Structure 1
């Protein structure tokens, strides 16, 4: 590989492609990938082509895939919690671990997350966010809020002596709400959790109680635990 630095840009020639990287730059001195339109610090151009691409799109091209814009709507918008479920290569993955590594950006030390991802078949990988372009958030669903789950909650509320009513939206669980009055006369709103909020180790914790005034939001709990929580919550 031969290389030369020109006006703060390192230009290198490798077998089959040319590489350019910003050496002395800032946020407004990055390259634009011709395939996915992402700003990046380094780009590649294959010999015989005119398009400059980021490392991800270059790798896809070399593997016979057609690079293009990423699906930003399903990309994780921020740090991923442990137990987050993702759609990725070969199936569904779960974030089973998270740590941080030291890195330098703009000559300043930065802490970047490193995730341990485990696929449903047991395969495990360790990746940084920059390497997770092919992992996407699962679309939240409410298929777990069945007639049986609603009946379980309603029986628990009645058995606890709590006055309650629902908004009747049984066919659209994402908008289903229960209004409950506790022994002190305070009003609570109970709503179901989306599929991506449920802890795999606590599959029956499907409900959250929220008190509008004074505002208080409880954790996800099972039907019986939630009734105890509402009765015992501090003023």
Structure 2
């Protein structure tokens, strides 16, 4: 079977699969409920800009206030403002995480902390996105949801996703035909085998280090620890995270 037909078949199967369709709903819910900026998503582009303007960037690192105040070149000032903006939002997400981490010693409290970070600080990276995707699954009755990091060719990759097996079995870190990845950071959800191909061929510029021939595996698999009572409290407090009433149950064909 050629790659075009294979891709078409994957798309057709995905469109018929309620679990993937609902995983895509979760992905959009994380992105759209509280829109937020990811500091890591702009890292690759910023690295290119910094490299192309290395002398100016070095001056900014050494004397940021001086560089901004006394450089009169309009083009330089544009880049200096960009460097300063990135520095500010990186500091803001660090400060926000430290602030919201207070009192968030378990996953139930962490939900409120991350939502607060999204809502008030409007910042979040792949770790927060993956955790919220897993939480939304848990709120909607999926008990085997996990967060996990990725490894590429055996090496650490600074990226987190939400992952679960659609047949209800425990995810043990080894993907199979039932494994679905939800990745709000890249804006995609699909079976793990399909997501791995997309990471290699579509999102490789965002996920630095991935090549078409790379082997992608999981690391640091962690189940979201929300009890039945905590789930009920989250439903009452955050009804916007519940699957809308319809003729079909969440993750079910009918």
Q: TM-score range by the shorter chain?
A: under 0.3
**Hey, which of these two has a bigger chunk of helix by percent?**
2
**Hey, which of these two has a bigger chunk of strand by percent?**
1
Higher RCO structure (Cα 8 Å, ≥6 apart): 2
Q: TM-score, normalised by structure 2?
A: 0.22
Q: TM-score, normalised by structure 1?
A: 0.23
